[in-house]
Amino acid sequence: MSGPRRRFLAVLAAAALAAACQPLPHPFAEDRPPASLLTMRDSAGVSVAPVEGEPSATATKLSAAVASALLQREIPASDRTTSLGSYLFHGRIERVRARDGKTTLTAHWRLQNAAGEPVGERTAKLDAAAREWLADKGYDPAYGARPLRRVIQKTVQDPLAEMILSGRVKDGEKVTISATKFGLTFNGKVAAAAA
């Protein structure tokens, strides 16, 4: 082989080698998912704002209790932090003394989406008879008021949550909780029948 021919074959081999090192086309290059599928939202939990109103001792503890109740139902919630995609849960309680001397405790709840638009509102009233019934059932001489949380969860939170989830309590509807000799009533119905 002569010199020019040898050079030509060397250049041809180098060109073939360079062509072989080029990236191969991707077989699924045009098969891409839509951008909306690839967009990841921040976690959509619930941020519980500090509860306002009187009695202040109850109001200060209520936001942590609400966050804890939501977490028990496997709903991400916090009374300390928030994220961009969080729903916002606001609460206000007020104590009203009627002319007959009986005291009623009213809780107003409002849930807003991340954009600040209202999602739902609820109002619950707890009259003096229900408060006394809960205090009686939730007090133990050996443990003090420690059992009260479990009594409230079992007799108020659980039946009320079932009523809301089943649709028997509509958005904006008021629920009055009272006590009779049969136990707590929700809007005049015994808790077992109401739940």
Give the architecture (CATH level 2) of 127-195.
Orthogonal Bundle (1.10)
Q: Using alpha carbons, list the distances in angstroms from residue 142 to 137, 139, 146, 147, 153.
A: 13, 9, 10, 10, 20
For residue range 141-157, what is the model confidence (pLDDT) as tens digits?
777 667 777 788 788 87
Q: Domain extents for the chain? A: 41-123, 127-195
How far apart, in whole angstroms, are the C-alpha atoms of residue 156 and residue 127?
A: 13
For residue range 31-72, what is the model confidence (pLDDT) as tens digits?
666 666 555 555 567 888 888 887 777 777 778 877 887 777
Torsion sign, CA atoms 186, 189, 191, 194: negative
Q: How much of the chain, in percent, has pLDDT values that exceed 90? A: 0
pTM: 0.51
Give the architecture (CATH level 2) of 41-123.
3-Layer(aba) Sandwich (3.40)
Alpha helices, H only, 46-103: 56-72
